[in-house]
Amino acid sequence: MALDRLAACRIAIIKPSALGDIIHALPVLTALRSRYPTARITWIVNRAYEPLLAGHPDLTDTLPFDRGALTSLRGALTTSVAFATELRRRRFDLVIDLQGLLRSGLMAWASGAPVRVGFRTAREGSRYFYTHKLDAPARTEAHAVERMWRVAEAFGVGHLPKVFRIPLPPDALASALQKLAGLPKPVIAVAVGAKWPTKRWPPAHFAAVLQHAHTHFGAGCFFVGSCDDTPNTQAVLASLRGPALDFTGRTSLPQLAALLACADVMLANDTGPLHLAAALGKPCVAPYLCTRIAYHGPYTATARCIETTVPCAGSYLKTCNTMICMPELTADRLWPLLAETLHTWTLHNSRSA
């Protein structure tokens, strides 16, 4: 049966990680809810990212799994058997694998769902576990959001607008407003970290543009990220003379979302908080080194990003022995983009004051 005519009552979406990838998949969830308004829709997710989805209006529930338990053979066997049993118990009639790796393909197969949908280009042999394989552009042919949107098109709802809904708990919002009350506006949220070393713009570059932002616009800033990002954040703070707050390693995902919702601008590497800010509708400024804006840039019309021009730009290498992109993409090259963003913010707020 064609997917655009398929009836389904119990649907599972498999997109376990990472933060940015989950955000890129959110429009598919909302489109599927429009297609199946009364269905039970479950998101299968790494437990570390589950709090971001809690309370999402288009989800019935989440099904978390503990990736950390898979590090030992005994833990992997115990966890996998228990998780597969739970998948079967839920009796999904439709499973959509948006991750496209061996583990997610096995999850789809283990569910026992009669209809299992994934991409023909899925890696690690995961495509062999699907009953329906969708064509999708390659990574170097379309943005990640557009590639996943092929699912919405297959189910007959590709004509709908792409909507990013981020749950924002009222208590987290109130707390964020209180924490940021002392910072002068415009407030810049900053994320200096990234999982790949090749995505991490040098702290000195961040410090230079943030100092310009304070000098020319009176901007305050706050830093977000994991505890691994604290050393680089502290290196930036040591060079700043303007007001700044450090929240790295101190926020849950709902708290992070609330802080970003209260910011005026986002300055970050290509990492999860950048895409979360974009989903919240925040203007984004970002340096792109080993990845490409066209394929993994903030999916928002208000984004102002810049790429390195070295020959190996957009290589998608996680490590590099030369890092020649770091000195090439200087603070002076990115600053005009941040200045333009802050100028736009200033004009808008002076007119509405």
Architecture of the structural domain at 172-352? 3-Layer(aba) Sandwich (3.40)
Sign of CA dihedral 68, 74, 80, 81: negative
pTM to 2 decimals?
0.95
- For the cut 80, the answer to whether the pLDDT of residue 144 exceeds it is yes
The reported pLDDT for the residue numbered 139 is 76
- For the cut 60, the answer to whether the pLDDT of residue 353 exceeds it is no
Find the mean pLDDT for residues 91-98: 98
Rounded to whole angstroms, the Cα distance separating 145 from 299 reads: 8
Determine whether domain 3-154 maps to CATH 3.40.30.10. Answer: no
Find the mean pLDDT for residues 124-129: 95
The reported pLDDT for the residue numbered 66 is 81
Give residue 345's pLDDT band: very low, low, confident or very high (50, 70, 90): very high
Rounded to whole angstroms, the Cα distance separating 339 from 217 reads: 8
Equal fold, 3-154 vs 172-352? yes
Name the one residue in this structure whose structure tokens are 């970050």: 268
Find the mean pLDDT for residues 328-332: 98
Find the mean pLDDT for residues 92-104: 96
- For the cut 80, the answer to whether the pLDDT of residue 91 exceeds it is yes
Give the tens place of pLDDT for each residue, 17-41.
999 999 999 999 999 999 999 999 9
Rounded to whole angstroms, the Cα distance separating 213 from 205 reads: 13
- For the cut 70, the answer to whether the pLDDT of residue 311 exceeds it is yes
- For the cut 80, the answer to whether the pLDDT of residue 193 exceeds it is yes
Give the tens place of pLDDT for each residue, 241-299.
989 999 999 999 999 999 999 999 999 999 999 999 999 999 999 999 999 999 999 99
The reported pLDDT for the residue numbered 141 is 86
Rounded to whole angstroms, the Cα distance separating 347 from 352 reads: 9
Sheet holding 244-246, edge to edge: 244-246, 220-223, 187-191, 265-268, 284-288, 303-307
Q: Give CB contacts under 8 A, 24+ apart, made by 319-327.
A: 319/196, 319/197, 319/198, 320/197, 320/198, 320/290, 323/197, 323/198, 325/198, 325/289, 325/290, 326/201, 326/202, 326/205, 326/289
Give residue 326's pLDDT band: very low, low, confident or very high (50, 70, 90): very high
The reported pLDDT for the residue numbered 198 is 98
CB-CB neighbours of 180 under 10 Å: 19
Q: At CA 56, angle to CA 55 and CA 58, rounded to 5? A: 135
- For the cut 80, the answer to whether the pLDDT of residue 337 exceeds it is yes
What would the two tokens of residue 310 be?
A: 């070295």
Give residue 303's pLDDT band: very low, low, confident or very high (50, 70, 90): confident
Mean of per-residue pLDDT scores for the chain: 94
The reported pLDDT for the residue numbered 68 is 61
- For the cut 70, the answer to whether the pLDDT of residue 82 exceeds it is yes
Q: Where are the domains of the chain?
A: 3-154, 172-352
